[in-house]
Copies of this chain bind each other. A is one copy, B any other.
Amino acid sequence: MRLKLGIWLVFVLTVGLLAGGSPAAIKADEGMFPLSELGRLNLQAKGLQLRPEEVFNPQGIALVNGICKVNGCTGSFVSPKGLIVTNHHCAFDAIQKASTTERDLLEKGFLAREWTEEIPAPGYTMRITESYEDVSAAVLAVVTPEMSFTDRTKAIERRRKELEQAAEKTNPGLRAEVAEMFTGKTYILFLYTFLRDIRLVFAPPAAIGVFGGENDNWEWPRHTGDFAFMRAYTAPDGSSAAYSPDNVPYEPKRFVQVAPQGASEEDFVFILGYPGRTARHRTASFLRFEQQVRLPAIVDLYAWQIAEMNAAGAEDRSVAIKHAARTRSLANVEKRSRGQIQGLNRTTITADRAAVERELQAYIAADSGRKSRYGTTLAEIDAVYADMTAAAQFEINFRELKSACRALALGSTVYEAAVERAKPDLEREAPYMDRNWEQTRQQLLLDVKDWHPPTDERMLAGMLERLASISAAKEVPGLQALLSSPDLEAAARSLITATQCGQPEFIESGLKMGAAELAQLPDPLMKLAIELYPKYVQLRDLDKEREGRLARAYGDLIDIKREFQAASFVPDANATLRLTYGFVRGYSPVDAIYKKPFTTLKGLVEKTTGEEPYITPAEVLSAWRTGEFGNFVAPKLGQVPVALLYSTDTTGGNSGSPVLNARGQLIGVNFDRTFEATINDFAWNADYSRSIGVDIRYVLWITGVVYGGDNLLAEMGVAGTK
């Protein structure tokens, strides 16, 4: 379908140009394209003014060498000295950790005027894609027809780890990751430059970086200055190193040129980044599972937990701060899930996919060879989702028990670590392998700091109440007695009161103990964690079995779909480097409403109420009143633009991605999608899939004019803040 659309677009473009029309009618294309696809996209016909090899060149240096992955986000190098621009929400943890009561960087913002003032961001890593190699044959060679589905999954997992270890040995200093591109079908080994000394350079106050808060999250119009600057450092010899005052700024092979003039409506734009996860190749049965089972359950569970945390925080600001990160994270997913349910209900995505599957099934049935090879493929997939649907009420709530109750989560992880760390490295679950262990341990020590026992009591009690009405839960060893307690609240209270699992000291010491030692502790919640552990392992194995079943069936499905549709497909997003393109363009979400593609400083001031989440710092209001706009007024708008909208195909992980103009220059920093575009994860639509970025002019105005970061503008080669 995509290829056909591509041909049609070229036709439209040609006719449009011949007729002297403007190319405004060109539609963007669905797709988060791997770099290997770049050559066949013909982006120059759509507006790109670079040759494909200027974007990506396996034999040399190109634009992608200036793009990096910053933890789960994307960033761009914007100077030869390793300066990175990304989102405020991507730098959030670093800003929060560097803040103290006396020096609240979240509230006040932060600007380093010299390298020595930059603040280390512990836990932050950065990677740059250096090369990739198809290792599908090597991975799939370990699969034998006799294997159980669980063993199939485990064998593939192990082979991927082996390939990674081998690649890292032959490429010292680089990080290797084998990514699954098409489920059960294609595996690519990526090699990354991997840096571990990342520092905070500039963050605007949270009133700018998270302006609008949860109200405006996933919404347009938007006035959020969701950007921050960081810097990557290496050892003096250029090698990757942990933080040291002796380290020096990293010199990227390439950096992205900032375009201080910004973009205009209908401009061609493209994005390079690391989108996390999509499900475009999943079946209609998967969509129905999401729409009817999983997403509604998430909305229900998360809305309840958010309400509990808000209620607890309403009485005590210090409690609210403890819950802030978790509330924000759940609220983000809860709202996205609501958007996805609404999108699936309002569109015909599921019905359309089912229709394609019916046609495919008829095509398969029409030939005996095809029938014997693929006759049951769709049915096998549907059966997995049917199993998951039948088990959902128990599985979702049982898993959530360990997520909602933080102490139980911490205790379980400490116990699992003891079990896993005792195994040979390659046999461990990934978080407990030596190459990941330090990061896992650090995360546990950070998580435990936010523990608030009264909230945890409410969470545990609430989950027990939910599980008490599910018969399968009553058969789980460890839950049987607990769920038959006449007073679940009291039971939860006594467990939380008696446990040490939420204490930092316990995590420290517990991580040094073996499983048997942990089992001897007189801690009732740890005992519960250990009792429940076999059931969680059983569910994990069940997941691997389902993964194995799906891997084989989806691998077949993509083969027969390719044959049937005579088309090639783009793999679903999997946190590897992708390109997507589109146009700066508004949209019409409902009858009689048109959303324009730019918001402005004037709109920001009008939206400012002085109350959360619509507070604007006095420095911004003062510069607005005195008309200090530098060179950053968009002529057509007569205003400094704040945020912009464009029709690219993005998802989570594209946070912080550069929004690039036709010449590959930075005109914005991507940070969100519209509410209607939350269903990008399932399907993209030219009419309403829109991504949201901070306009580069707002980035430069805030940084240079309002907060005096002339040093940074100079470093980026931008002049004229006055």
Report A's interface with B, CB cutoff 8 A: 220-221, 223, 346, 586, 590-600, 602-604, 606-607
State A600–B591 Cα separation when bound (angstroms): 7
State A216–B597 Cα separation when bound (angstroms): 26
B residues near A602, Cβ cutoff 8 Å: 591
Choose among B590, B591, B606 the residue that contacts A591 (Cβ–Cβ < 8 A).
B606
Determine the residue in chain B with the shortest Cβ distance to A603: B591
B residues near A346, Cβ cutoff 8 Å: 606
Determine the residue in chain B with the shortest Cβ distance to A643: B592
List the 10 shortest-distance A-B pairs measured between CB atoms, nearest first.
Answer: A591-B603, A221-B592, A594-B594, A592-B596, A592-B599, A591-B599, A221-B591, A591-B600, A594-B596, A593-B595
Determine the residue in chain B with the shortest Cβ distance to A223: B591
Q: Are A607 and B591 in contact (CB under 8 A)?
A: yes
State A604–B592 Cα separation when bound (angstroms): 11
B residues near A604, Cβ cutoff 8 Å: 591
B residues near A593, Cβ cutoff 8 Å: 221, 593-596
Told that A591-B604, A594-B594 touch, could you supply 19 new A-B pairs with CB distance under 8 A? A221-B591, A221-B592, A221-B593, A223-B591, A346-B606, A590-B603, A590-B607, A591-B599, A591-B602, A591-B603, A591-B606, A592-B596, A592-B597, A592-B598, A592-B599, A592-B600, A592-B603, A593-B595, A594-B595
Knowing A346-B606, A606-B346, say if A592 contacts B595 (CB, 8 Å).
yes
State A602–B592 Cα separation when bound (angstroms): 11
A–B complex contacts, Cβ < 8 Å, 29 sampled: A220-B592, A221-B590, A221-B591, A221-B593, A223-B591, A346-B606, A586-B592, A590-B603, A590-B606, A590-B607, A591-B599, A591-B600, A591-B602, A591-B603, A591-B604, A591-B606, A591-B607, A592-B595, A592-B596, A592-B597, A592-B598, A592-B599, A592-B600, A593-B594, A593-B595, A593-B596, A594-B594, A594-B595, A594-B596
State A598–B591 Cα separation when bound (angstroms): 8
B residues near A599, Cβ cutoff 8 Å: 591-592
Determine the residue in chain B with the shortest Cβ distance to A591: B603
State A221–B594 Cα separation when bound (angstroms): 11
Oligomeric state, in number of copies?
2
Determine the residue in chain B with the shortest Cβ distance to A642: B591
CB distance from A644 to the nearest CB of B (A): 10
Determine the residue in chain B with the shortest Cβ distance to A597: B592
State A221–B588 Cα separation when bound (angstroms): 12
B residues near A603, Cβ cutoff 8 Å: 590-592
B residues near A598, Cβ cutoff 8 Å: 592
CB distance from A57 to the nearest CB of B (A): 38
State A600–B603 Cα separation when bound (angstroms): 29
State A599–B592 Cα separation when bound (angstroms): 5
Determine the residue in chain B with the shortest Cβ distance to A345: B609
B residues near A592, Cβ cutoff 8 Å: 220-221, 586, 595-600, 603
Q: Max chain B CB contacts within 10 Å: which of A223, A593, A596, A600?
A: A593
State A593–B223 Cα separation when bound (angstroms): 13
State A379–B347 Cα separation when bound (angstroms): 62
CB distance from A212 to the nearest CB of B (A): 12
CB distance from A671 to the nearest CB of B (A): 16
CB distance from A207 to the nearest CB of B (A): 18
Q: Max chain B CB contacts within 10 Å: which of A223, A592, A597, A603?
A: A592
Determine the residue in chain B with the shortest Cβ distance to A609: B345
CB distance from A16 to the nearest CB of B (A): 21
CB distance from A670 to the nearest CB of B (A): 17
CB distance from A131 to the nearest CB of B (A): 42
CB distance from A83 to the nearest CB of B (A): 30
B residues near A223, Cβ cutoff 8 Å: 591
State A604–B603 Cα separation when bound (angstroms): 30
B residues near A595, Cβ cutoff 8 Å: 592-594
State A606–B597 Cα separation when bound (angstroms): 24
CB distance from A420 to the nearest CB of B (A): 49
Determine the residue in chain B with the shortest Cβ distance to A602: B591
State A223–B592 Cα separation when bound (angstroms): 10
Determine the residue in chain B with the shortest Cβ distance to A599: B592
State A43–B594 Cα separation when bound (angstroms): 31
State A229–B590 Cα separation when bound (angstroms): 30
State A350–B294 Cα separation when bound (angstroms): 53
B residues near A591, Cβ cutoff 8 Å: 221, 223, 599-600, 602-604, 606-607
CB distance from A606 to the nearest CB of B (A): 6
CB distance from A325 to the nearest CB of B (A): 30
CB distance from A257 to the nearest CB of B (A): 27
B residues near A600, Cβ cutoff 8 Å: 591-592
B residues near A596, Cβ cutoff 8 Å: 592-594
State A586–B588 Cα separation when bound (angstroms): 14
B residues near A597, Cβ cutoff 8 Å: 592
State A134–B360 Cα separation when bound (angstroms): 82
CB distance from A26 to the nearest CB of B (A): 22
B residues near A220, Cβ cutoff 8 Å: 592
B residues near A586, Cβ cutoff 8 Å: 592
B residues near A607, Cβ cutoff 8 Å: 590-591
State A667–B598 Cα separation when bound (angstroms): 35
CB distance from A569 to the nearest CB of B (A): 31
Determine the residue in chain B with the shortest Cβ distance to A221: B592
CB distance from A692 to the nearest CB of B (A): 11
State A221–B223 Cα separation when bound (angstroms): 23
State A607–B597 Cα separation when bound (angstroms): 24
Determine the residue in chain B with the shortest Cβ distance to A604: B591
Determine the residue in chain B with the shortest Cβ distance to A605: B591
Q: Max chain B CB contacts within 10 Å: which of A220, A346, A591, A594?
A: A591
CB distance from A247 to the nearest CB of B (A): 43
State A590–B595 Cα separation when bound (angstroms): 10
Determine the residue in chain B with the shortest Cβ distance to A600: B591
State A391–B85 Cα separation when bound (angstroms): 59
CB distance from A593 to the nearest CB of B (A): 6
CB distance from A474 to the nearest CB of B (A): 36
State A604–B590 Cα separation when bound (angstroms): 10
CB distance from A416 to the nearest CB of B (A): 45
State A631–B600 Cα separation when bound (angstroms): 43
CB distance from A423 to the nearest CB of B (A): 53
